[in-house]
Structure formats: structure tokens, C-alpha cells
Amino acid sequence: MEELILYIVKALVNNPDAVSVTLSEEQKDGMITYNLTVAEEDKGFVIGKQGKVAKALRALVKTAAYKNGQKVHVYIV
């Protein structure tokens, strides 16, 4: 999943070297949490107007995870 998130986000931002994804602890209900960090000036590109880009990113990642039998959430830090 990390590779998918990195691939999508690096295509959206002006500073792809500042993009990083870290895996948080797995919670008791099986939810896997990824923390996405981008440069401050690129947050608007990742979030999008009214959060539409962030929602689409999360939907893509959740769909890919669902195929693998996982539950995933992406936080933008």
C-alpha cells in the first residue's frame, strides 16, 4: 500500500522528495493506518478543493486494501 500512496501523491505535488509514508501501529480491530507527510506548500494539492483529492486517494487505497482483505486509513499530516 505504501508504494501505491507514494506513486499517486508524488505525481500530484511540486516537491516529490518531501513525500513520505509511515505505517502506524495496527489497531485491535485490524485497521492499518498510514501517515502521509508532504511539504507544507504541497498540502493543498493533496487535499484539493473541499477535500476531493484526499477523498479520492483514500477511496483508491481502501479499495486496493479491501482486495487484500485489509482495512486501511490514510492520515495526511
How does pLDDT run across 27-63, given as a tens digit for each residue?
Answer: 778 889 999 999 999 999 999 999 999 999 999 999 9
- Using CA atoms, how far residue 32 sits from 41, 42, 52, in Å, is 27, 24, 22
Q: Alpha carbon 70 to chain centroid distance?
A: 15
The pLDDT mean for the chain works out to 93
What is the pairing mode between strands 20-23 and 71-76?
unpaired
pLDDT for 19 equals 97
Whole-structure pTM value:
0.89
**Residue 48 falls in which region: left (phi positive, over 0), alpha (psi -120 to 50) or beta:** left
Residue boundaries of the structural domains of the chain: 2-76
| CATH code, residues 2-76 | 3.30.300.20
Query: In angstroms, rounded to a whole number, what is the distance separating the alpha carbons of residues 27 and 8?
Result: 25
Residue-level length of the chain: 77
- The reported pLDDT for the residue numbered 25 is 74
